[in-house]
Chains A and B, each alone.
Chain A
Amino acid sequence: MSRHESREILGAYGDGELDAVRKAEVETHLQQCSACSKIVAQDRAVAEAVALGARRFEAPAELQEQVMANLRAEGTERRVLDFPQKHKLTVWAIAAVLLMGSFVAGVMISRRAAGGDNILAEQIVASHVRSLMATHLADVASSDHHTVKPWFDGKLRFSPPVVDLAAEGFPLVGGRLDYFDQHSVAALVYRRDKHIINLFVWPTNETHESPPKGNTSSIDGYHLVRWAAADMSFCAVSDVELGELQQFATLVRARQLQ
């Protein structure tokens, strides 16, 4: 008679986890060995006890409700403060500040005017990166600005200017709603070859003049060009070369002035 099989192998046999060759070997052995056959039977009895005899606990109805309520609350929180994971501490710090009421929030906003540009830029890049993930690039997919612009009506309290730059090599892909820095923003999606450009637009009360080429910055390999015009803030973000992104920004600004 062949030597006994180990308890592990017999268990894996009972669980149907052996490959065909090993399974055949075990079966041959079992035909001659009552001790190993008995182990297989014992294992089966224990398996059945756990599967059929032991309780299978069902989630209480209130648990599902509580989970959904948590997620909706979380979703709202994320919309306000949608940072990458590495900024979690900052998120909580700011969330705590926000909870302390409008007075403290007011202080924070005035601070943000001075030092918040980086935070905003990071949120913009985060939004851009998120948009590149499947199914999230555009809520309205159209290369026709006469389709994209009206789509925003009723979804935003402002009407973002949507320009057609296909002739200049920046075809429109579509539009999307996004949210950062406690604003609803319009995201206009353009393409440059295989690169995606997100142009974020939101109302502003900034009155200072933007430099002709806009304010540029870079985070994690993404370039940002920001400017303000006609009570709107604009930020173009992409991984295209900075020069091309500036060209894009210049075209958008020029077209808006017409």
Chain B
Amino acid sequence: MYKEEPNQLSDPSRLPLFEQAILPHLNAAYNLARWLTGHDQDAQDVVQEACLRAFRAFDGFHGADGRAWLLTIVRNSAFTLLKKNKTALFMTPFDEQLHGDVQQEMANPATELRLAEDAQQLQAAMENLPPEFREALILRHQEGLSYREIAAVADIPSGTVMSRLARARVRLRQCLVAGDQRETRS
């Protein structure tokens, strides 16, 4: 039903519907944008642009999953910005044998416990990852998206999600362990 004042007429139902379906996911959107761009202002710009694009395309949204839909637009906006700024390290082929690689590492039971302890070191290690890896880790472990949902958001096959996550975890771990040994990263 029509509720607004007479001067603001058409599409009265659109903005409230959009607010209801999309805006609850603003934190998730900002978090992803912040991790991808690495800057508060860039992230805010990305989210603002993404929300506008989402709003313009809202007629094509049929209410399945507002969060995945918004995150898709956010990640596309963020990657567009990264490409424009050319600040990102783009993913290089990663053809090492993951399995053998890590198994040869010396057992160090203390390492596992320390991984999450130093927030600054963790932040730096995350920021050193290629953005695609960061994206996969954030979507999976912070937002709790399934492989299928991540595949939809990043527009890649589920199999790629699986291998990207595996690589991302290895790379992050290597960074953390190396940083831990050197104690130099800030």
Chain A positions within 8 Å of B, measured between CB atoms, are 4, 6-8, 10-12, 15, 17, 35, 38-39, 41-43, 45-60, 63-64, 66-68, 70-72, 74-76, 78-79, 82, 85, 127, 130, 133, 135-136, 139-140, 154-156, 177-180, 184
Report how far A70 CA is from B55 CA in the complex, Å: 10
Check B52 against A70 for contact (C-beta < 8 Å): yes
Check A154 against B52 for contact (C-beta < 8 Å): no
Known contacts A15-B165, A71-B52; A49 and B116 CB within 8 A of each other: yes
Whose C-beta in chain A lies nearest to the C-beta of B51? A67
Chain B positions within 8 Å of A, measured between CB atoms, are 1-2, 6, 8-15, 18-19, 23, 26-27, 29-31, 34-35, 40, 43-44, 47-48, 51-52, 55-56, 59, 98-99, 102-103, 107, 112-113, 115-117, 119, 122-123, 126, 137-138, 140-142, 146-147, 162-163, 165-166, 169-170, 172-173, 176
**A74 contacts across to B, CB distance below 8 A:** 52, 55-56
**B166 contacts across to A, CB distance below 8 A:** 6-8, 10-11
**A10 contacts across to B, CB distance below 8 A:** 166
Report how far A177 CA is from B137 CA in the complex, Å: 47
Check A71 against B43 for contact (C-beta < 8 Å): no
| Of the residues B14, B18, B34, B117, contact of A57 by C-beta under 8 Å | B34
Known contacts A53-B115, A177-B12; A67 and B107 CB within 8 A of each other: no
Check A58 against B30 for contact (C-beta < 8 Å): yes
Known contacts A8-B166, A133-B59; A49 and B47 CB within 8 A of each other: no
Give chain A's interface secondary structure class: helix
List 7 A–B pairs whose Cβ atoms lie within 8 Å, in order of A's numbering: A12-B162, A15-B165, A46-B169, A53-B122, A64-B26, A67-B51, A79-B9
| Of the residues B52, B112, B119, B141, contact of A42 by C-beta under 8 Å | B112
Check A55 against B30 for contact (C-beta < 8 Å): no
Check B162 against A17 for contact (C-beta < 8 Å): yes
**A47 contacts across to B, CB distance below 8 A:** 140-141, 169
Check A45 against B115 for contact (C-beta < 8 Å): yes
| Of the residues A46, A52, A58, A70, contact of B172 by C-beta under 8 Å | A46
**Which of A12, A67, A70 is packed against the most chain B CB atoms within 10 Å?**
A67
Number of A-B contacts (CB under 8 A): 169
Check A60 against B44 for contact (C-beta < 8 Å): yes
Whose C-beta in chain B lies nearest to the C-beta of A53? B116
Known contacts A38-B107, A64-B26; A54 and B173 CB within 8 A of each other: no
Known contacts A59-B29, A66-B44, A66-B48; A50 and B137 CB within 8 A of each other: yes
Given contact pairs A67-B23, A71-B52, a sample of 14 additional A-B residue pairs in the complex whose CB atoms are under 8 Å apart: A12-B162, A17-B162, A50-B138, A54-B119, A54-B123, A54-B142, A59-B31, A63-B26, A68-B23, A74-B56, A130-B59, A135-B13, A140-B1, A178-B9
Check B9 against A63 for contact (C-beta < 8 Å): no
Check B47 against A59 for contact (C-beta < 8 Å): yes
**A75 contacts across to B, CB distance below 8 A:** 8, 11, 14-15
Check A57 against B31 for contact (C-beta < 8 Å): yes
Report how far A175 CA is from B80 CA in the complex, Å: 43
Report how far A85 CA is from B59 CA in the complex, Å: 11
Check B31 against A58 for contact (C-beta < 8 Å): yes
| Of the residues A6, A41, A54, contact of B99 by C-beta under 8 Å | A6
Check A39 against B102 for contact (C-beta < 8 Å): yes
Known contacts A15-B147, A66-B48, A71-B52; A78 and B11 CB within 8 A of each other: yes
Whose C-beta in chain B lies nearest to the C-beta of A88? B56
| Of the residues A6, A7, A38, A51, contact of B170 by C-beta under 8 Å | A7
Check A57 against B30 for contact (C-beta < 8 Å): yes
Whose C-beta in chain B lies nearest to the C-beta of A46? B169
Known contacts A8-B162, A11-B162; A35 and B10 CB within 8 A of each other: no
**A57 contacts across to B, CB distance below 8 A:** 30-31, 34-35, 43
**Which of B34, B140, B163, B166 is packed against the most chain A CB atoms within 10 Å?**
B166
Check B9 against A50 for contact (C-beta < 8 Å): no
Q: How far is the CB of A37 from chain B (nearest CB, A)?
A: 11
Q: How far is the CB of A133 from chain B (nearest CB, A)?
A: 6
Report how far A140 CA is from B1 CA in the complex, Å: 7
**B165 contacts across to A, CB distance below 8 A:** 11, 15
